[in-house]
Structure 1
Amino acid sequence: MNRFRFLSRLALLAPGLLLAACGGGSGGGDNASGGADQTVAVTTTMPRQQVFHDTVEAWGSVDPLHPVTINLAHAGQVTALAVAPGQAVKRGTTLLTVTPDPATRSAFVQAQNAARTAAGDLKRIEQLAADRLATQSQLAGARKALADARAALEAQRALGGANTREEVKAPLDGVVTTLQVQVGERFAANAPLLAFTPTNALLARLGVQPQDAAKLRVGLPVQLREVFSEGHDMPAHLSMVGKAIDPTSRLLPVLAEVPAASATPIAGTALSAVIQTADYRAWAVPRAAVLHDEKGDYLFVVEHGKARRVAVTLRHPEGEVVGVQGALEASSQVIVQGVYELNDGDAVHMAPAEGRAK
């Protein structure tokens, strides 16, 4: 009877024991796989020290540095125009042709006659003085009269009276900006005939944000670029930093002289510029390695098989390689791929070759 009860109870308990055994085996497997899931596959790189530049952005346009207004010291009349506004010319190119004013021509002829007469008077006085019929004072007076007459003649010649036709030529390579006379038009002495811009004398007129004024000084390097073209950068240097904000643009005006070798844009071209204000050293790391949250910029390094968070300051954010400053060393293993899956202290392992290539 007792044996029958024991066997009956054993039959009732067997399914429970079997389930318990199965359950225990399953639980052990889950714990093992959970530990493996907490290890993150990463790739790393070594940081390196590099010199970076603080920069200030600016905008503006190209203007002539030394515009030239061409005029003549005498009055006259325009007989021909050889150029048009905006035309590029070489040094010595004829710009326009003029004839002197009749009054200028008349003054030259009068001075020419006066010099001829003074020369004849001197010759006559010299003959009289040789025969002791003229005094030395008369001889000196005749010589002075001839000298004065010749000086007056040269003055009239310089004023253009000697020419019946005069060609006005370009003093340098450049561009004719404006024409201020027309064919047949009479002009007064020293009246502007045309405006001329030398090619190799351009000035970049720029504006920067007022808060950047403290960073700027004369002589800083500038990289200029045409806004609406694919042109190359043009090196320049700051030649002036303004002390008052422009009331129209609300920007601080600065000037940069464009070197002759880089003077490719035409006057009026819109420009953007980058002014290099200071040099500093920072750690160069891939952009993908740097993260940001409410505590600031940071990255992860590998220490003893775990990810350790390192706070950094992002000083140079442009480009695929950025500049950061923080507690890094040249031997630090900065995590690049896998950073978005990490928390401080997570276990990590190096990704296989296929993962690193990807």
Structure 2
Amino acid sequence: MTRNRLLTLVALLVVAGLVAWLIVSRKKAAEDTDATPTAIVTMAPVTAARLDDVATAYGTVQADPAGSATVAAPKAAIVLRVLVRSGETVSAGQTLIELANAPGSELAFKQASDAAAFAKSDLARVQRLYDGRLAASDQLDAAKKASADADATLTAEEKQGAGHATQTIKAPQAGIVTTVSAAAGDHVAQDAALLVLARSGAAAAKLGLQPSGQYAAGQAVTLRPIAGGASIRSRISMVGRAADQTTKTLDAIVPLNGASLPIGTAVEGEVVTGVHDGFTVPRAAVVFDETGPHVFTVAGGKAHRIFVKVGLDHDDAIEVSGPLPAGSQVAVEGAQELQDGMAVTVKTPGAEKKPGEDAGK
């Protein structure tokens, strides 16, 4: 091989090596570029707003005392059958309880009946004497009064069911049986409570409030069943002024405004006690992880993490406080995948900004 051919071969090998090195270098650079994490996000502004001060309280649904009726025994009796249970819905006129006369009530009815018959007979006798001028007018008046009193006593006994072996107690109104105080075989006195009937729709939540002085009748309340269900918007109708000796809380009554919740349902109440100025961001903008709640702003094409304190939800927004002036932009869609310093592509309605472009502060 001549010297010229050798030099040419060496030159070709050098050129081939340079080309191969350039190809590998470009491929590696492309791979490094592709490996750089990039996220696509949408942005939303931090909004200044007038926000509610909200206090949370818990309680249960109970029958509204104003819409409840206590069904009592009309006389001393023995309970034969109780035909309803606590929590059952009944219609007006439905039979609730069957009673039998107690021995003492039978005796009282017989005495009243005998007294009425005797007074009537005595009045007839005195009337005959008076007609024959053998009795004075005051004697006739006394006999008339005695007869009227005896009749009134007998009528009262009859209204109470005396004179019948059994008696049925019917519902005075449609509603829900909230309490049953009697059972078959019980001997009950006259006017003893047998059950409590709450009028349909007359239910209210009783919340336990901390005695802080910030609560008053008329404040707006949002009720939510603990087990889940639709929210109920109402207002406090009454705040007690004596703390419960066990819970040390004040009772507050909140009408259900016609909503149908079973008696005894556990509820949570959010009571609006005032207003304040604050800032909100979309709920999806706040990232909750082991580092603490935070949001991301974007500047210079990169995500910047900002830690915040969170407050209450306000529909689809959440209250936040931190170094976030009103009008600044935070990442919303895609925020959950961001890391501090990650390259970001901001998706806008008209176009997308590439990494390295300023997406706003």
Normalising by structure 2, we get a TM-score of 0.62
Corresponding residue for residue 136 of structure 1: 137
Q: How much has 1:179 moved relative to structure 2?
A: 4.8
Q: Aligned AA for 2:168?
A: E
Corresponding residue for residue 20 of structure 2: none
Corresponding residue for residue 230 of structure 2: 232
- What is the percentage of aligned positions where both structures have the same residue? 26
Q: Aligned AA for 2:263?
A: I
Q: How much has 1:316 moved relative to structure 2?
A: 5.5
8 Å CA contact 1:235–1:262 kept in 2: the answer is no
Moved more, 277-286 or 318-327: 318-327
Q: How much has 1:174 moved relative to structure 2?
A: 0.8
Corresponding residue for residue 24 of structure 2: none
1:77-226 pair list within 5 angstroms: 77-172=78-173, 173-183=175-185, 185-207=186-208, 210=210, 213-226=212-225
8 Å CA contact 2:346–2:352 kept in 1: the answer is no
Q: 2:268 aligns with which of 267, 272, 292?
A: 272
Q: How much has 1:301 moved relative to structure 2?
A: 11
Q: Aligned AA for 1:100?
A: N
8 Å CA contact 1:72–1:191 kept in 2: the answer is yes
Distance 1:278 1:262 in 2: 26
Structure 1: any 5+ residue segments left out of the alignment? Answer: 1-40, 292-296, 303-311, 344-348
Q: Aligned AA for 1:182?
A: A
Corresponding residue for residue 356 of structure 2: none
Tell me how large the CA RMSD over aligned residues is: 4.7
Change in Cα spacing, 1:49 to 1:109, as seen in structure 2 (3 Å) is same
Corresponding residue for residue 38 of structure 1: none
Q: How much has 1:192 moved relative to structure 2?
A: 4.0
Q: How much has 1:106 moved relative to structure 2?
A: 2.9
8 Å CA contact 2:120–2:147 kept in 1: the answer is yes
Structure 2: any 5+ residue segments left out of the alignment? Answer: 1-39, 288-293, 300-307, 354-361
8 Å CA contact 2:79–2:184 kept in 1: the answer is yes
Q: How much has 1:123 moved relative to structure 2?
A: 3.1
User: How many residues align structurally?
Assistant: 301
Could you give the per-residue CA deviations for residues 252-298 of structure 1, whole angstroms, max 9, x where no partner exists? 4442333351242332x22222111123565665457799xxxxx99
8 Å CA contact 1:44–1:334 kept in 2: the answer is yes
Distance 1:78 1:44 in 2: 72
Moved more, 273-282 or 142-151: 273-282
Distance 1:158 1:177 in 2: 25
Q: How much has 1:97 moved relative to structure 2?
A: 0.9
Q: Helix, strand or coil: the match of 1:60? A: strand
8 Å CA contact 1:86–1:178 kept in 2: the answer is no
Q: Aligned AA for 2:275?
A: D
Normalising by structure 1, we get a TM-score of 0.63
Could you give the per-residue CA deviations for residues 221-275 of structure 1, whole angstroms, max 9, x where no partner exists? 21111111x311123333225665865x6x74442333351242332x2222211
